[in-house]
């Protein structure tokens, strides 16, 4: 998982409203709201296009006071949840 | 048969299906017009066979890649070309099938004209239009009953024309049914209220983020282009007023909407 690359699925529609991302998955027409940390990670993915879990974790460490191991665990949780919902794609 | 909806003309052409069997004319009364002069904005060819407009995953993907909108349900299916405003549909000769087709097709049409259908009661109060939005059981019908001029107690279309949002009459009604309270003329939108039954009567202004979240959840169907719906909602939230309306069943709703 660490070295796999992730990108935002082309079919997911999203908007940044008042500092939080709102995402709609067209398959089930569900609206998903991201919290502050997830919004930060999603923003990194939107900017970069394609990122690994390690790159995202180092992004978190640059922004929040957390160690890399803990950040990587959080990132992996974020990635697997969003891949499962069809919001992100694993490459 | 031509239907006037939100100021647009939708021309239905029936082939191999009895119009009388398929069309719930009483349900559509007031919306069917014989005006031949106004050209149609959309045209729907209706065929009387309940088959899939496009079958097979590959064909569906090809259709979607070509910008076509495809939908298949048990008693109807359609393929819609937004480019030229033409839809081809296959329908069971039953009135419920026609209503189902309209529920799915009209949001697609409105989307191309800058509008959407909101799960809400639409009412005219004082000189403005209000949308009282919420899911089933939130009190839309309860409050709509208190008004003399109602657009719908269930699904109300809203559309932007010349920089202003208007609410329009609908043939989609819930418990209240269309009757004496039905108001046939559009109104400029004054505010959108999300309903919550409470022990107090209180209107709390909503922040854009909260309003956006509630709005998107109550828009009828995402259809083929969720991104376009999100853009519309984003713009709609920025240009309108939103409230959380906490109310008791016996509230004086007109005075709360001033």
| pLDDT tens by residue, B195-212 | 999 999 999 999 999 999
The SS3 assignment for A58 reads: helix
Cβ contact (<8 Å) for A29 and B226?
Answer: yes
pLDDT of residue B34: 78
Q: Is the pLDDT of residue B50 over 70?
A: no
pLDDT in tens, B104-148: 999 999 999 999 999 999 999 988 999 999 988 899 999 999 999
Q: Is the pLDDT of residue A29 over 70?
A: yes
pLDDT of residue A30: 81
pLDDT of residue B256: 83
Report the percentage of chain B scoring pLDDT > 90. Answer: 58
Cβ contact (<8 Å) for A17 and B208?
Answer: yes
> pTM value?
0.85
The ipTM assigned to this model is 0.70
| B233 contact residues in A (CB cutoff 8 A) | 15
| B116 contact residues in A (CB cutoff 8 A) | none
pLDDT of residue B222: 61
Return the residue of B nearest to A21 by Cα.
B209
Give the DSSP letter string of B198-258: -SS-EEEEPPHHHHHHHHHHHBS--TT-HHHHHHHHHHHHHHS-EEEEEE-TT--HHHHT-
Give the pair of three-digit tokens for residue B175: 């418990």
| A14 contact residues in B (CB cutoff 8 A) | 230
Closest Cα of chain B to A76: distance in Å? 26
Of the partner residues B209, B226, B229, the one whose CB lies closest to the CB of residue A18? B209
Cβ contact (<8 Å) for A13 and B229?
Answer: yes
Over chain B, what is the mean pLDDT? 88
Beta bridge partners of B3: B10, B32
The SS3 assignment for B41 reads: coil
Rounded distance between C-alpha atoms, residue B239 and residue B201, angstroms? 26
Cβ contact (<8 Å) for B208 and A26?
Answer: no
Give the pair of three-digit tokens for residue B216: 């998107």
pLDDT of residue B215: 94
Is A29 an interface residue toward B (CB < 8 Å)? Answer: yes
Q: Is the pLDDT of residue B242 over 80?
A: yes
User: Per mean pLDDT, which range of B55-64, B104-113, B241-250 is the poorest?
Assistant: B55-64
Closest Cα of chain A to B135: distance in Å? 15
DSSP B99: H
Cβ contact (<8 Å) for A24 and B217?
Answer: no
Q: Is the pLDDT of residue A19 over 70?
A: yes
The SS3 assignment for A37 reads: helix
Q: Minimal CA–CA distance to B219: which of B130, B151, B131?
A: B131
Cβ contact (<8 Å) for B227 and A29?
Answer: no
Return the residue of B nearest to A13 by Cα.
B227
Rounded distance between C-alpha atoms, residue A28 and residue B230, angstroms? 15
How distant, in Å, are the alpha carbons of A11, A27, B52, B55, B64 from that of B61? Answer: 13, 13, 14, 10, 5
Of the partner residues A18, A20, A22, the one whose CB lies closest to the CB of residue B216? A22
Q: Is the pLDDT of residue B63 over 80?
A: no
Q: What is the mean pLDDT of residues B40-68?
A: 76
Residues 6+ apart with CB under 8 A from B169: B30, B122, B151, B152, B182, B183, B184, B185, B186
């Amino acid at each position: 998982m660490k070295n796999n690359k992730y990108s935002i699925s082309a079919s997911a529609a999203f908007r940044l409203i008042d500092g939080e991302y709102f995402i709609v998955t067209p398959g089930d027409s569900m609206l998903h709201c991201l919290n502050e940390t997830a919004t930060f990670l999603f923003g990194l993915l939107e900017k970069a296009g394609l990122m690994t879990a390690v790159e995202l974790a180092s992004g978190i460490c640059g922004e929040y006071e957390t160690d890399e191991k803990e950040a990587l665990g959080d990132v992996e949780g974020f990635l697997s949840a969003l891949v499962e919902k069809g919001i992100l794609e694993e490459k | 048969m031509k239907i006037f909806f939100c100021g647009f003309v939708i021309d239905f052409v029936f082939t191999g299906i009895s119009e009388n069997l398929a069309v719930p004319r009483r349900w559509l009364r007031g919306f069917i017009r014989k005006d031949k002069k106004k050209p149609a904005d959309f045209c729907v060819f209706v065929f009387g066979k309940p088959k899939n407009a496009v079958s097979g995953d590959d064909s569906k993907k090809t259709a979607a890649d070509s910008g076509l909108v495809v939908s298949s349900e048990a008693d109807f299916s359609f393929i819609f070309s937004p480019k030229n405003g033409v839809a081809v549909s296959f329908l069971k000769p039953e009135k419920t099938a026609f209503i189902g087709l309209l529920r799915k097709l009209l949001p697609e049409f409105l989307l191309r004209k800058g509008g959407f259908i909101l799960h809400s009661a639409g009412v005219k109060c004082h000189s403005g239009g209000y949308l009282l939005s919420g899911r089933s059981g939130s009190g839309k019908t309860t409050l709509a009953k208190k008004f003399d001029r109602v657009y719908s107690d269930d699904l109300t279309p809203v559309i932007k024309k010349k920089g202003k949002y208007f609410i329009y009459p609908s043939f989609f009604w819930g418990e209240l049914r269309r009757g004496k309270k039905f108001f046939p003329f559009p109104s400029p939108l004054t505010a959108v209220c999300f309903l919550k039954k409470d022990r107090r009567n209180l209107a709390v202004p909503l922040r854009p983020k909260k309003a956006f979240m509630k709005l998107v959840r109550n828009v009828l169907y995402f259809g083929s282009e969720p991104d376009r719906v999100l853009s519309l909602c984003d713009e709609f939230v920025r240009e309108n007023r939103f409230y959380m309306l906490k109310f008791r069943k016996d509230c004086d709703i007109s005075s709360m909407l001033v």
